[in-house]
Amino acid sequence: MSPPTAPDISRNTPSPPKASPSAVDPSDTSRRDATTTMQELAAILQESPVVAIRWRLEPGWPVEYVSENIRLFGYTAEDFASGAVSLSDLLVDERNAMTDQCPESELVSGYRRLEYRMRTAGTARPLVRFLVRTARDERGRLCCQGLMTEVPESLAHEERLRLLEQAINTAHSGIIIADARLSDLPVIFANSAVETISGYAPEEFLGRNCRFLQGNDVEQPGLEIVRRALAEKRDCEAVLRNYRKDGTPFWNEIRLSPVRNRSGEVTHFIGVQADITARKEAEAAMARRDAILEAVSVATETLLRSDNYHQALSTALRQIGEVTGADHLCVWQEKKSGDHRTLSLDQAWFGPSLPYPPFDRYQGIAWEESLGWPSAEELRQGRVVQGGVEGRAQPEKELLRSLGTQSYLCLPILEGPNRFWGLLTLGCREAGVKWNPVEVEALRSATRVLGAIIHNQRTERELRLGEQRYRELSGDYELTNQALRKSEAQYRSLVTNLKEVVFQTDAQGLWTYLNSAWTEITGFSVEESLGKSFLGFVHPDDRQRNSELFLPLIERKKEYCRHEVRYLAKGEPYRWIEVFARLTTDENGVMTGTAGTLSDITARREAEDVLRRQLLAIEAAADGIAILDREGVYTYVNSTHAVLFGYANAYELVGKSWRELYGPEEQALLEQQILPTLREKRQWRGTLQARRRDGSFFDQELSLTLEEDGGIVSVCRDVSERRRAEERLQKSLKEKDVMLKEIHHRVKNNMQIVSSLLNLQLEHVKDEHMRALFVDSQSRIVSMALVHEKLYQSADLARIDFGEYARDLTDSLVGSQDARSARISFQLDCDDLHLGVDTAIPCGLIINELVSNAYKHAFPSGGAGAIRLRLARTSPGWLELEVADNGAGMPVDIDVSRAGTLGLQLVATLVQQLRGTIEVYRDAGTRFVLRLHEAPEKRLVQ
C-alpha cells in the first residue's frame, strides 16, 4: 500500500476570498473544503512521529519538501527550503549505501526500507528508518519521496552481537556452550579455538557431551569436581586430562559457569578451556628436579655420615636412580698411565629391569678420542653429553649396548676446580629419552657434591697416611692433632669451595653462617651479613611471597621448601636465587633455625627468557620452521609449518617422520643425495615438491641445517606461485625472442628489397656520377642489412659478433671493386668484440665509407697497394677504429669535419653520434684513427 503524497505545507498558501452572502459559488466551496483538508492533514503530520520528505536525486540531495515535524530531529522545514541543510548533510557516512538503494540515474519501482544513522542538531545520532520510492516531479526530474521515523537500536544491537561473535571466534581459549535444558547437556556452540586445542572441528562437538574428550580415562579428580558443579549448578574450575583427535593426551584447564534466565533457572553452561600442557610438563619437570635434588640432599647426608664410601655411594646412586626413572647409574673413574688414559667402573646401580654386569669387564677401558671416543674431550672440558646409541662411534656404541642402554646422559665429575676425575652416567632401555635442562642442572649438583666428597676422601686418606707415618716416626700426638685440624680445615674447604651458598639461620631468621659463595654471588661480604635478617636481602617485591613459601616449612607441613626469588646484589638490581631450606632442631625437636643452600640461577632465568622470546619469534615467522631429531622425527613445528602442510595445529606433526610429507621420488632424492650432502657440508638449500595432508603437492623452497647432535633445523616456504610466475615469464621471453628475430629478419629483407630496387634503377642510369651515387647507397644499405642479419642469427638478440660482421662486410666491399683494384691487398685486424646494435650500425657505416673511399681515391694510377683495417677495445666502453692505406694520400686542404662529400660528412656525423674523435694522418698514405664511445645497450627483453 503506497503512503499518501504529503502536501507542501512549508510554503504559505493564500487565504481564500470571502464569500458574498447573497451568492455562493460551488467552486469556492470545494476550494474551502480542500484547504480545510490540507490544514487538517498538516496538523496531523505536525503531531506525528513520522516525517514526510521528498528530495531530488542530484548532487547534495536537495530537499524539495519536508513536513514541519522534522523539528523532532532538531531542524526546521525552513532549514531545508532555504538550502542551508540537505539530506547528504544528515546521514552519517552512508552516502554510498543510499546511492546503491536509490540510484541517481534510473527510476526504481516499489518501496525500499532503509535504516541509517542521522546527525541531529545536538550530539545524538539516532537510528532512522526510511520507507521511500523513486518518482519524477512535474519537471521530469528524478526524486525520492516517502516517510522517515526514528526506530529502536536494532542495528546497534546486531553490530554488538556480531562483534561479540567475532571476539569469541578469535579468542585463544576454547569456548563451549551446552544446553542445560536437554538431557546429557549437549553442546550447541563451540568456537574455532577448540580445533586448535583438541584437533576436533567445532561442528564435531555439536550435539555431544564434552566427556567424549576423556575417552576411557574417566577416573580423574578433576571430573568429580565438574560433576558436582553440574549437579549443584554452580561455577567451578578443574584440570582434566583430555585426548586430542589423534589420540595424544593434553591437559585442559576448564572454567565452568551456569547461565540463568530471568526466573533464575539454569538454561545453559558456558565452559572456557585452555591448553595447559606446556605448564603441566614444566611443573612435572620441576617436580622431577625437586625429587632429584631431594635425593641428592639425602644422598649427600648418607655419604657424609658413612664410613664405608662404596656402600654409601651405592645407596646414593639407588636413591637418585629411582627418582630419575633411569634404568642404571654408573660412576666411572679416569686413570692415567703415562700418556694413556683408561676408564674403569667404580660403582653402579641397576634397576630391576637390568642385571648387574661383572665389574672386572669394565676395568681399564682405553678412553681416548683417537680410539673412537669423540665425547671424551667434551666431558674433560666439563660439558654434558646425552643422546642415543645410534649414530655414536663404535667403541661407545658397544659399551652402551653391553649395559642395556639405548639412551644415555653423561655428566663430568670434577674433583676440585677444573680437575677431571670421572663420569656419572645414566642409562635407559628406551630409545629417544632426553633429560631436560632443569633435570641436568639438578644432576650436576649431584656430581659437584660427589666431586667434593671424593676430593675430601682423598684428602682424608692422605692425612690418615700422613698421621700414620707421623705416629710411626715420632709418635708425636701434637702432629696427629695438627693433622686432624687440617682434616677439619679440608672438610670446611669442601663447603667453602662449593658454588652454591651454604647458609644457616637462627630461629629469628638471622644469618649465623654463610660460606664465601655468598660474596661471589651477591657482592655482600660474609662479615657484614652475619647477624642480619635474611629477609632484608630478599628483593622488596618478593619478600611477602618468600614468607608465604617458607610458612609450610615453619608449620612443619613440609620437610623442606624449594622456591625461586630475587636477592639484592651490589652493583646490579638483583640476582635470581633458588632457595633450598630445611629446619634445624635441637635434641628435643625444638626449631633452632634453618639450613640449606642458595643457588644462583640468574643465567638460567635469562636464558629461559631469551628462549621464550625466540620461540615467540619463531612461532610468528612467515616461514615454516621445524626441528627434527637424528632419526628424522619432528620434535618441534611452528604453526606456519603446520598450516603449510595442511595440518590444523603443530601437535599433529610432532612425533612424525619427515617421510610422511614427501612422495616416493622426493624421499629417494632426500635420502640418496640431499641428506648425504647435508652431513658433509652441514647446510643445504634448494627446492622440492612437498605433499600436503590432503595429498596435494606444492613447490617448496627448503633450507636444512645440521645440528651438533645430528638433529636438523628445517626452514621452508611455499613457492608454487613464484614458480608458476617464473614459468610464465620464461614462456613470455621465448615468445619475445621469436618476435625480435622475426623483426630483424624482416628489416634485413626490406633492406635487401631496397638494394634490389636501386640495382634495377641503376640499369637505367647512364651518367657515371649518378651511377656512383647509387652504388654508394647500395653499399650503405648492405652494411646495415648485414647487421640485422647477424642479429637474428645470434643467440643474443641485443648484440652481434662484430669481428665476424666486419669480415663479411669487408669481403663484400672488396668483391664489389672493379678489376683495376685487384692489385690492392686488404688486411683486417679485429678483436673478438660483441657490440650492441646502436654501436654496430654506426661502426659498419664508418667502415663502409672509409674502406670504399680508400679503394676509390687512394690509388688513382691503378698501381699496387695495401689497405688495413684495425678495430680494438682500448678500455671499457671505448673502441679504436683505424683505416689506413699506402696510397697517394689525402690532400692537406681537405678538412674531414667540413668535407663537402657525402661520405666524409656521414663519417663525421656518425663519430659525433658515438661521442668520439677522428684524427687524420697524411704521412705515407692516409690513416684515419677514430676513438669511439660504445652506446649503452638497450635490453629489449628484461
pLDDT at 7: 38
Q: How many CB atoms lie within 10 A of CB 97?
A: 13
DSSP string for 673-714: IIHHHHHHHSEEEEEEEEE-TTS-EEEEEEEEEE-TTS-EEE
- Ranges 46-55, 535-544, 754-763, 821-830, most confident: 535-544
| Gap between the Cα atoms of 477 and 470, Å rounded | 9
Looking at every residue in the chain, the average pLDDT score rounds to 82
| Total length of the chain | 942
Strands (E), 485-571: 501-506, 511-514, 560-569
Range in 196-210, 389-403, 516-530 with the lowest mean pLDDT: 389-403
- At 899, list the grid cell: 668535407
Burial code (b: 16+ CB inside 10 Å, e: under 16) for 609-627 equals eeeeeeeeebeeeebbbbb
pLDDT at 569: 93
The percent of residues above 70 in pLDDT, for the chain, comes to 81
* Phi and psi angles of residue 901, each rounded to the nearest 5 degrees, phi first: -85, 150
pLDDT surpasses 70 at 474: no
| Gap between the Cα atoms of 697 and 275, Å rounded | 32
Question: Rg for the chain (alpha carbons), in Å?
Answer: 50
- At 804, list the grid cell: 665476424
pLDDT surpasses 70 at 23: no
| Gap between the Cα atoms of 56 and 48, Å rounded | 24
Q: Are 447 and 424 in contact (CB under 8 A)?
A: yes
CA dihedral 311, 317, 319, 323 (to 10 degrees): -170
| CATH fit for domain 283-473, picks 3.40.50.1100, 3.40.830.10, 3.30.450.40, 3.10.180.10 | 3.30.450.40
Give the mean model confidence (pLDDT) for residues 347-359.
86
Residue 785 is given by DSSP the state H
| CATH fit for domain 729-933, picks 3.30.565.10, 1.10.3720.10, 3.40.50.720, 2.40.50.140 | 3.30.565.10
Query: Is 330 in a helix, a strand, or coil?
Result: strand
Give the mean model confidence (pLDDT) for residues 261-278.
89
pLDDT at 563: 92
DSSP string for 539-580: -GGGHHHHHHHHHHHHTTSSSEEEEEEEEEETTEEEEEEEEE
Q: Kindly indicate the confidence band of residue 942, based on its pLDDT and cuts at 50, 70 and 90.
A: very low
Task: Tell which phi-psi region holds residue 436, choosing left (phi > 0), alpha (psi between -120 and 50) or beta.
Answer: beta
Helix then strand count (H, E) for the chain reads 26, 33
Residue written as cell 662486410? Answer: 809
Domain 283-473 and domain 729-933 have a common topology: no
C-alpha pair distances (Å), 861 with each of 165, 853, 854, 865: 105, 15, 13, 11
C-alpha pair distances (Å), 908 with each of 896, 904, 913: 7, 6, 9
The predicted-structure confidence for 720-756, as pLDDT tens digits, reads as follows 888 877 777 776 666 555 555 555 556 666 667 777 7
pLDDT at 883: 93
pLDDT at 27: 56
pLDDT at 506: 94
DSSP string for 83-100: TSS-HHHHBSS-HHHHHH
C-alpha pair distances (Å), 381 with each of 619, 815, 909: 35, 86, 80
pLDDT at 295: 77
C-alpha pair distances (Å), 196 with each of 202, 245, 274, 651: 10, 11, 10, 9
Nearest CA-CA partner of 338 in 366, 374, 376, 361: 366
pLDDT surpasses 90 at 483: no
Q: How many CB atoms lie within 10 A of CB 338?
A: 5
According to CATH, the superfamily of the domain at 499-606 is: PAS domain (3.30.450.20)
Query: Is 582 in a helix, a strand, or coil?
Result: strand
The predicted-structure confidence for 591-623, as pLDDT tens digits, reads as follows 999 999 999 999 888 888 887 887 777 777 888
pTM, to two decimals = 0.36
Q: Are 200 and 194 in contact (CB under 8 A)?
A: yes
- Ranges 338-347, 528-537, 734-743, most confident: 528-537
| Gap between the Cα atoms of 661 and 642, Å rounded | 11
Give the mean model confidence (pLDDT) for residues 867-877.
92
Rounded to whole angstroms, the maximal C-alpha distance in the chain is 168
Q: Considering the domain 621-718 in this protein, what is its CATH number?
A: 3.30.450.20
| Residue with the larger pLDDT of the pair 545 and 88 | 545
C-alpha pair distances (Å), 886 with each of 485, 872, 929: 116, 21, 15
| Gap between the Cα atoms of 446 and 220, Å rounded | 35
Q: Are 746 and 752 in contact (CB under 8 A)?
A: no
Give the start-to-end residue ranges of the domains of the chain: 26-152, 170-275, 283-473, 499-606, 621-718, 729-933
pLDDT at 863: 75
pLDDT surpasses 60 at 387: yes
Give the mean model confidence (pLDDT) for residues 290-294.
81
- Identity of the residue numbered 646: G
Query: Is 46 in a helix, a strand, or coil?
Result: helix
Residue written as cell 642479429? Answer: 791
- Ranges 104-118, 214-228, 415-429, 782-796, most confident: 214-228
pLDDT at 203: 93
Q: Are 252 and 197 in contact (CB under 8 A)?
A: yes
- Identity of the residue numbered 155: L
The predicted-structure confidence for 93-146, as pLDDT tens digits, reads as follows 554 445 445 555 555 667 888 877 888 777 777 888 888 888 888 888 899 889
Sign of the CA dihedral running 610, 616, 619, 620: negative
Query: Is 816 in a helix, a strand, or coil?
Result: coil
Residue written as cell 548533510? Answer: 89
pLDDT at 100: 47
The percent of residues above 90 in pLDDT, for the chain, comes to 31
* Phi and psi angles of residue 647, each rounded to the nearest 5 degrees, phi first: -100, 145
- At 535, list the grid cell: 629477609
The predicted-structure confidence for 878-927, as pLDDT tens digits, reads as follows 999 999 999 888 887 777 777 667 778 888 888 999 899 999 998 888 99
pLDDT surpasses 90 at 359: no
Helices 437-473/477-496 angle, 10° precision: 170
Instruction: Reply yes or no on domain 170-275 having CATH 2.102.10.10.
Output: no
The arrangement of secondary structure in 26-152, i.e. its CATH architecture, is 2-Layer Sandwich (3.30)
- At 384, list the grid cell: 654434558
